[in-house]
């Protein structure tokens, strides 16, 4: 698995994947739909899969001494590495923002505020992307665009739903700056992280099963 | 010992069926998988490598491919018709990534192969000619100590001199105890290197035997009429300029070339099919 991941980085990864990580800094922009940050993470997975397809990567990799299903798993693991890095960078930017920015800009009027609960929302959006994109892509690896459009549509629908929550009166505590209403926000954060894990594990499992049967 | 043992390999496509074929390749032997375009040669090799899902069992040096996928693949060097992956990467980048998969990768052998084949490691894959791509694939395969090479039409698109180089390389591998199964429709390459011929036609095996036996088994005879040809139990009778021609198993007629044997066996198969 280590060799597979190394190969993903050295032969398949598109440099934009690293640039998209920098988009975590968007949380510093006042009144912005911060959830969009996690859409860009999907773009890096899209470019990774596209580069792999254009490089004839899957057929070549499957001829190396690896289990066919592990090839799909390695791609998911690389995506998870970038997603976790993005979540951590976003959390770091949020901490910096809350510490150094004036209280007046901490409330986001365009969507959910950048706080602990927002990281939970981010994990949920990333998990939803994984659950849709990878099984669709690995059931027909020559298709990258269609799975991306479908998974991005699901992401945007979810983002719209999460922004709507912001306007529901009883959900007001999750829009407050940290450390206010910490219990509720931690509950949202951990729920998001748990759902991310469940959705990603499910995505990897289905992708591996489907990829076994694919003709390359 | 058998280097490769294939049993009941079957793959069904909407317009083509690889019909449960079985064959084997002895250790240290060079086997040619021959057949016309679309006969199922690539499907066979890709099924062996599990690149496509198919039925049947494949054993490499006695190990079941499905059960010991990683171990078996480590003993195989697969070349799917030239090196078409990672065109914008340098040869050294590809080799470094590939080396990480093989515990027995020998950098010295790779270096020696590159020198022998005049491969410049700083070059990008897309800058290589088709012949050089084949050589790069072979260098990768030899550097991890592959004991069985599966080559899918390695000589297609190569000029005669490059094909000659390829044949020399394959023969030198035989000297090192490497077994080879390679598909082609260029019979002159097979005549030069193959010990065994596996003739595939429309997803079924028409002949599987040592090259020498196959060449001795059939002779080509010319008949004045079709009835004469049929009376002599001729195989794959075809109309030719001066009458009717077909394969006979007696000592009559002239020596048949591998091309002629292929053509008449194929013709015979078609005649049998149309008879049913």
Mean pLDDT of B197-213: 91
Domain identity same for B64 and B181: yes
B72 contact partners, CB below 8 Å, separation of at least 6: B60, B61, B63, B64, B65
CA-to-CA distance for B196 and B212, rounded, in angstroms?
Answer: 8
Please give the order of strands across the beta sheet that includes B196-201. Answer: B76-79, B148-152, B179-184, B30-34, B196-201, B204-210
pLDDT band at B6 (very low <50, low <70, confident <90, very high): very high
Domain identity same for B42 and B124: yes
pLDDT for position B271: 82
| B interface test, pick of A55, A57, A63 with most B CB neighbours within 10 Å | A63
- The CA-CA-CA angle for residues B131, B134, B140, to 5°, reads 145
Domain identity same for B144 and B262: no
pLDDT for position A153: 95
Domain identity same for B190 and B239: no
pLDDT band at A119 (very low <50, low <70, confident <90, very high): very high
pLDDT for position B154: 82
Last residue of a domain, one of B180, B210, B240: B210
pLDDT tens per residue, range A3-23: 999 999 999 898 889 999 999
What are the structure tokens assigned to A149, written together? 């459009």
pLDDT for position B276: 65
Query: The tokens 């008949």 sit on which residue?
Result: B223
Q: Whose CA is closest to A9, among A48, A62, A53?
A: A48
Domain identity same for B81 and B97: yes
For the cut 80, the answer to whether the pLDDT of residue B37 exceeds it is yes
A63/B74 touch (CB, cutoff 8 Å), yes or no:
no
Q: How many domains does chain A have?
A: 1
pLDDT tens per residue, range B93-124: 999 999 999 988 888 889 988 888 888 999 99
Q: What is the CATH number of the domain that holds B33?
A: 3.40.50.300
Domain identity same for B108 and B165: yes
CA-to-CA distance for B54 and B72, rounded, in angstroms?
Answer: 17
pLDDT band at A58 (very low <50, low <70, confident <90, very high): very high
For the cut 90, the answer to whether the pLDDT of residue A92 exceeds it is yes
Which B residues in the span 54-93 are in contact with A, Cβ-Cβ below 8 Å? Answer: 69-71, 73-74, 76, 78, 80, 84-89, 93
Domain identity same for B201 and B254: no
Q: Whose CA is closest to A124, among A188, A66, A174, A74?
A: A188
Domain identity same for B101 and B154: yes
Mean pLDDT of A85-91: 94
In the three-class reduction of DSSP (H, G, I as helix; E, B as strand; rest coil), residue B222 is classed as strand
The alpha carbon of residue B139 is apart from the nearest alpha carbon of chain A, in Å, by: 14
CA-to-CA distance for A57 and A49, rounded, in angstroms?
Answer: 9
CA-to-CA distance for B225 and B211, rounded, in angstroms?
Answer: 31
Mean pLDDT of A150-175: 86
Cis? peptide before B90, omega within 30° of 0: no
The complex's ipTM works out to: 0.79
Query: Of the spans A80-84, B81-85, B185-189, which averages the highest pLDDT?
Result: A80-84
The proportion of chain B whose per-residue pLDDT surpasses 70, expressed as a percent, equals 99
Domain assignment of residue A64, given as a range: 2-212
A212/B94 touch (CB, cutoff 8 Å), yes or no:
no
What are the structure tokens assigned to B243, written together? 């009458």
CA-to-CA distance for A189 and A207, rounded, in angstroms?
Answer: 27
Strand partners, B58: B6
Pairing of strands B235-240, B76-79: unpaired
Q: How many domains does chain B have?
A: 2
Residues in chain B closer than 8 A to A55 (CB atoms): 85-89
For the cut 70, the answer to whether the pLDDT of residue A186 exceeds it is yes
Count of A-B CB contacts under 8 Å:
71
pLDDT for position A208: 95
Q: How many CB atoms lie within 10 A of CB B241?
A: 6
For the cut 70, the answer to whether the pLDDT of residue A188 exceeds it is yes
φ, ψ of residue A14 to 5 degrees: the values are -90, 140
For the cut 90, the answer to whether the pLDDT of residue A110 exceeds it is no
For the cut 80, the answer to whether the pLDDT of residue A179 exceeds it is no
Asked whether A192 and A165 are in contact (CB, 8 A), the reply is no
Domain identity same for B158 and B22: yes
What are the structure tokens assigned to B130, written together? 């088709």
pLDDT for position B169: 83
Asked whether A210 and A139 are in contact (CB, 8 A), the reply is yes
Domain assignment of residue B77, given as a range: 2-210
Pairing of strands B148-152, B179-184: parallel
Domain identity same for B193 and B222: no
For the cut 70, the answer to whether the pLDDT of residue B189 exceeds it is yes
Last residue of a domain, one of B210, B228, B247: B210
pTM listed for this prediction: 0.84
CA quadruple A184, A186, A187, A191: dihedral positive or negative? Answer: positive
Of A56, A63, A212, which is closest to B49 when you measure between CB atoms?
A63
For the cut 90, the answer to whether the pLDDT of residue A90 exceeds it is yes
Which DSSP string do the residues of A3-62 spell out, in sequence order?
Answer: HHHHHIIIII--THHHHHHGGGGGGGSSS--GGGHHHHHHHHHHHHHHHHHHTTHHHHHH
Pairing of strands B204-210, B254-255: unpaired
Which B residues in the span 93-132 are in contact with A, Cβ-Cβ below 8 Å? Answer: 93-94, 96-98, 100-102
């Amino acid at each position: 698995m280590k060799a597979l991941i190394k190969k993903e980085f050295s032969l398949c990864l598109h440099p934009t994947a690293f640039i998209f990580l920098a988009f975590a800094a968007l949380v510093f922009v006042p009144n912005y739909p911060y959830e969009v940050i996690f859409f860009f993470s999907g773009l890096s997975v899209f470019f990774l899969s596209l580069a792999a397809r254009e490089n004839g990567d899957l057929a070549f990799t499957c001829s190396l001494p690896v289990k066919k299903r592990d090839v799909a798993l390695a791609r998911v693991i690389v995506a998870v590495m970038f997603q976790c890095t993005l979540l951590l960078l976003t959390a770091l930017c949020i901490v910096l923002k809350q510490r150094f920015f004036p209280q007046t800009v901490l409330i986001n009027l365009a969507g959910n505020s950048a706080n602990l609960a927002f990281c939970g929302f981010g994990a949920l959006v990333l998990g939803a992307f994984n659950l849709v994109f990878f099984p669709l892509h690995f059931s027909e690896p020559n298709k990258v665009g269609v799975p991306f459009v479908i998974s991005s549509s699901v992401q945007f629908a979810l983002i719209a739903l999460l922004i709507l929550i912001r306007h529901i009166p009883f959900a007001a505590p999750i829009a407050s700056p940290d450390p206010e209403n910490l219990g509720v926000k931690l509950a949202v954060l951990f729920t998001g992280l748990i759902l991310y894990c469940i959705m990603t594990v499910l995505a990897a499992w289905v992708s591996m099963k489907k990829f076994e049967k694919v003709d390359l | 010992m058998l280097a490769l043992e294939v049993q009941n390999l079957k793959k069904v496509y909407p317009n083509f069926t690889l019909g449960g074929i079985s064959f084997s390749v002895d250790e240290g032997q060079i086997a040619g998988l021959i057949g016309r375009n679309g006969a199922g040669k690539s499907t066979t090799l890709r099924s062996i490598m599990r690149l496509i899902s198919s039925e049947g069992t494949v054993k490499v040096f006695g190990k079941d491919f499905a059960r010991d996928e990683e171990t078996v693949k480590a003993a195989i060097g697969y070349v799917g018709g030239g090196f078409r992956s990672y065109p914008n990467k340098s040869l050294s980048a590809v080799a470094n990534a590939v080396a990480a998969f093989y515990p027995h990768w020998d950098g010295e052998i790779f270096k020696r192969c590159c020198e022998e084949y005049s491969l410049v490691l700083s070059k990008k894959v897309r800058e290589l000619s088709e012949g050089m791509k084949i050589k790069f694939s072979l260098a990768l395969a030899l550097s991890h100590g592959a004991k069985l090479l599966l080559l899918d039409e390695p000589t297609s698109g190569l000029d005669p001199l490059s094909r000659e180089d390829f044949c020399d390389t394959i023969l030198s591998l035989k000297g090192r105890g490497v077994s080879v199964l390679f598909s082609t429709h260029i019979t002159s390459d097979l005549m030069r290197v193959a010990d065994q011929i596996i003739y595939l036609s429309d997803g079924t095996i028409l002949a599987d035997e040592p090259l020498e036996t196959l060449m001795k088994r059939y002779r080509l005879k010319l008949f004045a009429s079709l009835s004469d040809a049929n009376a002599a139990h001729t195989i794959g009778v075809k109309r030719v300029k001066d009458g009717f021609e077909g394969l006979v198993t007696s000592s009559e007629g002239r020596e048949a070339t591998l091309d002629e044997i292929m053509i008449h066996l194929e013709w015979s198969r078609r005649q049998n099919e149309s008879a049913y």
